[in-house]
């Protein structure tokens, strides 16, 4: 997730397991009102579950929100080529979220969040995923594959929900939409006593998620002067005490 108040959040498209209560049953959220105090004003947004019919506008939001920034430039240096590749990549990400995760939207389809329950069994093998990325990104596929490898290695082993993507239309940023989407799912996680995990790039995004109760773990630098990826963890501790991130899975050999 990129140039929005929510910061830049990327996560690997590694597996299934619908986001839902601990029983594992699929969860369809009823529309909820999220009240956010943004720059001294009370703002109310309706957060609802997205469906396949939301694909076109929400894929556009994802592609636009992630078009700029150090990670985007590292993945695909040329902006015109990046625009085309990002649209294909986020079309794939949105379809995977609808099928295997939980997708939420707010602000008349101007913001989107994609969550997954973890740990989960990968829905595709490593070689198959590489083939998909080659079809999406062509010669830039190795960068996307390495990014997903790093993000997958940063996933904690204990049960949690992973925020894979949080994106806001650049024209609607800094209006509390990212915060509203976060708050709505954090309430559900509180009911289920489950922690949350994400990966962030950039100091701006780190500060945003710290304000929402996340703790920053050790960062990983991507090669060739790439940005740093920071794992962030939001535990289930009561009150203002922040819980440290749990151990992560050992990283496999680089692609």
Interval 23-61: pLDDT, tens:
443 455 556 555 444 443 335 789 999 999 999 999 999
> Residue 43 has what pLDDT?
55
> Residue 44 has what pLDDT?
74
pTM: 0.81
Q: Average per-residue pLDDT in the chain? A: 82
Per-residue burial over 140-152, b if 16 or more Cβ lie within 10 Å, else e, is: bbebbbbbbbbbb
pLDDT, tens digit, 9 for 90 and up, residues 92-138? 999 999 999 999 999 999 999 999 999 876 677 889 999 999 999 99
As a whole number of angstroms, the distance between CA 19 and CA 99 comes to: 11
Higher pLDDT: 3 or 56? It is 56
Q: What is the CA radius of gyration of the chain?
A: 17
Q: Which residues pair with 34 in a beta bridge?
A: 45
Q: Which domains does the chain have, with CATH numbers?
A: 8-234 (3.40.630.30)
């Amino acid at each position: 997730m990129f140039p929005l108040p929510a910061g830049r959040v990327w996560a690997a498209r590694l597996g299934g397991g619908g986001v839902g209560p601990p029983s594992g049953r699929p969860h369809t959220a009823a529309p909820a009102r999220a009240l956010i105090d943004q720059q001294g004003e009370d703002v109310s947004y309706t957060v609802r579950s997205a469906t396949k019919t939301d694909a076109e506008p929400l894929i556009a939001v994802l592609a636009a929100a992630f078009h700029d920034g150090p990670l985007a430039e590292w993945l695909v240096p040329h902006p015109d080529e990046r625009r085309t590749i990002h649209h294909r990549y986020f079309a794939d990400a949105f379809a995977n979220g609808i099928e295997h995760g939980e997708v939420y939207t707010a602000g008349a389809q101007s913001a989107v969040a994609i969550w997954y329950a973890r740990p989960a069994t990968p829905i595709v093998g490593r070689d198959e995923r590489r083939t998909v990325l080659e079809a999406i990104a062509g010669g830039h596929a190795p960068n996307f594959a390495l990014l997903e490898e790093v993000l997958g290695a940063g996933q904690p082993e204990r049960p949690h929900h992973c925020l894979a993507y949080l994106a806001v239309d650049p024209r609607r940023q800094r209006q509390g939409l990212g915060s509203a989407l976060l708050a709505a799912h954090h309430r559900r996680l509180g009911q289920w006593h489950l922690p949350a995990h994400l990966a962030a790039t950039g100091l701006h995004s780190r500060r945003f998620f710290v304000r929402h109760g996340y703790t920053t773990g050790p960062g990983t630098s991507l090669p060739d002067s790439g940005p740093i990826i920071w794992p962030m963890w939001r535990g289930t501790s009561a009150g203002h005490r922040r819980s440290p991130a749990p151990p992560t899975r050992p990283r496999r050999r680089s692609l």
